[in-house]
Structure formats: C-alpha cells, structure tokens
Amino acid sequence: MRWFEDEEIWMKTLRIARETYELTGHEVFTRDWRFRDQFRLCALSVMGNIADGFDSTRGREVARLLALAERSCGDLREHLKTAYAGSFIELYDFSQLVVRTNRLGEQLTSLIGTLKRF
C-alpha cells in the first residue's frame, strides 16, 4: 500500500508549506495577522487536499480533491504576489516560491488530466 507521504507531489507541498511558515514567521507579518493566517492556510489547504485525494479510493473523488489542491495552489500564488507587492517578502523569496507553486500547479493539472482519462 502506498501512503500519501510517499508521493513526490505531496513532498513538494510540504516543502512549500514549510517555506511559507518560515516566511510568514517574520516580524513584518505581525502587522497583518489575518493575511499571515490566510497565507498559511492556503499552503495547508494544498497539502490537505492532496493527502485526501491520495487517500481516496474513487478516481472521480481523487480528481476532485486534486482540483481543489490546484485551486489552493493558485490562491497561494496570489498571496505571494500580494506579499511581495506589500513589501512583506523579498524578491528572491517571492521568485523561489512562485516557481515552486507554478510547477506544482502544472503537475496537479497533468495528474488530474491523467485521472480523467481513466
């Protein structure tokens, strides 16, 4: 039996979530704790939906949950853009996480497409 923790795509979300928590732990985020919390919840939502999807045994349910993860990934990118525009994060951190979330979104799209063919 395979576990979601063994899936490469979930491991990537774990890395993104860790980096998100590290970034939002900086003092600048204390001036807007609601934004910080939403930012963090987006990263957790991606992880949680991927985990739920891989734990599901029904193909349609897996695709639905991965689509939710894909949407949450888009939300996370939006929060990154807002954080950068508001000077919450530096260009380097912004660029690194945007690249990772874009790649993750592409992988999710591909995986969803594969599941829908079966």
- For the chain, how many structural domains are there in total? 1
Examine the pLDDT at 1 and tell me if it is beyond 60.
no
Q: What is the pLDDT of residue 2?
A: 63
Q: Is residue 93 part of a domain?
A: yes
For the segment 26-30, the average pLDDT, to the nearest whole number, is 95
Q: What percent of the chain has pLDDT over 70?
A: 98
Is 24 part of any domain?
Answer: no
Q: Is the pLDDT of residue 66 over 90?
A: yes
Q: Is the dihedral of CA 101, 103, 106, 110 positive or negative?
A: negative
pLDDT the model gives residue 41: 97
Q: How far apart, in whole angstroms, are the C-alpha atoms of residue 1 and residue 26?
A: 40
With residue 87 as reference, give the H or E element that holds it.
none
Total-model pTM:
0.89
Residue ranges making up the domain that contains 79: 4-18+31-117
Q: What is the mean pLDDT of residues 107-113?
A: 92
Phi-psi category of residue 87: left, alpha or beta, with phi > 0 → left and psi -120 to 50 → alpha: left
CATH number of 75's domain: 1.20.1440.60
